[in-house]
Amino acid sequence: MKNRVDPLCGPVDGRIERGVAVFRGIPFAEPPVGPLRFAPPVAAAPWAAPLDAGRFGPISIQDADPLFQAVPPTERNFFHEGAVTGEDCLTLNVWSPDVHGAAPVLVWIHGGAFQFGSGTGEWTVGASLARAHGIVVVTLNYRLGVLGGLYLGDLDPGRSNLALQDQICALRWVAANIAAFGGDPGRVTVGGQSAGAMSTVALLAAPAARGLFRRAVVQSGHAAIFPSPEAARAGTARVLAGLHIDPDGDVLAELRAASALRIAAVQRGLGPVPVTPLVRDGVTLDADPVAAIRGGSAAGVDLMIGTTVAESRLFEVTGWSTAPGSLDAVLGGLLVDAGARAEAKALYEGLPGSPEDQAYRALTDHDWTQPARAVADAQTQAGGRVFRYLFAWPSSARDGRVGAAHLVDLPFLLGNLDAPGAGALLGPLDQAALELGAAMSTALARFVTDGDPGGGAPGPWDPYTPAARATMLFDTAPGQAPDPDGHYVDFWQAHRAVSTEPLAALVAGA
- pLDDT of 406-437, one tens digit each? 999 999 999 999 999 999 999 999 999 999 99
95, β-bridge pairs: 22, 137
- 491-503 burial, b if ≥16 CB within 10 A, otherwise e? bbeebbeebeebb
Q: 3-class DSSP state for residue 413?
A: helix
Q: What is the rounded CA–CA span in Å between residue 114 and residue 116?
A: 6
Give the residue from 348, 14, 322 showing the smallest Cα distance to 181. 14
Sign of CA dihedral 420, 422, 424, 427: negative
Q: What is the rounded CA–CA span in Å between residue 384 and residue 294?
A: 9
CB 367 within 8 A of CB 320: no
Mean pLDDT, rounded, for 72-92: 96
Length of the chain: 510
| Residue 130: its H or E element | helix 127-133
Task: Name every residue whose Cβ is closer than 8 Å to that of residue 478 and which is 6 or more positions away in sequence.
Answer: 436, 439, 440, 457, 458, 472
Catalytic residues: 194, 311, 406
Per-residue pLDDT at 230 exceeds 60? yes
Planar angle of CA 192, 198, 190, nearest 5 degrees: 35
Q: What is the pLDDT of residue 500?
A: 78
Q: What is the pLDDT of residue 457?
A: 72
In the chain, the percentage of residues whose pLDDT exceeds 70 is: 98
Q: What is the pLDDT of residue 503?
A: 65
Per-residue pLDDT at 368 exceeds 90? yes
Q: What is the rounded CA–CA span in Å between residue 425 and residue 402?
A: 7
Pairing status of strand 215-219 against strand 20-27: unpaired
Per-residue pLDDT at 121 exceeds 50? yes
Pairing status of strand 2-5 against strand 12-17: antiparallel
Q: What is the pLDDT of residue 273?
A: 61
Domain ranges of the chain: 2-299
- 120 Cα distance to chain centroid: 14
Per-residue pLDDT at 162 exceeds 50? yes
Per-residue pLDDT at 385 exceeds 60? yes
Per-residue pLDDT at 287 exceeds 60? yes
Pairing status of strand 470-474 against strand 479-482: antiparallel
Q: What is the pLDDT of residue 499?
A: 77
Q: Could you tell me which residue, 180 or 324, shows the higher pLDDT?
A: 180
> Which tens digit of pLDDT belongs to each residue from 20-57?
999 999 999 999 999 999 999 999 999 999 999 999 99
Per-residue pLDDT at 509 exceeds 60? no
Mean pLDDT, rounded, for 363-374: 96
Q: What CATH fold (topology level) applies to the domain 2-299?
A: Rossmann fold (3.40.50)
Least confident of 169-178, 320-329, 387-396: 320-329
Mean pLDDT across the chain, nearest whole number?
Answer: 94
Q: Could you tell me which residue, 106 or 269, shows the higher pLDDT?
A: 106
Per-residue pLDDT at 502 exceeds 90? no
Q: What is the pLDDT of residue 508?
A: 37
Q: What is the rounded CA–CA span in Å between residue 156 and residue 167?
A: 20
Confidence of residue 404 (pLDDT cuts 50, 70, 90): very high
Q: What is the pLDDT of residue 510?
A: 30
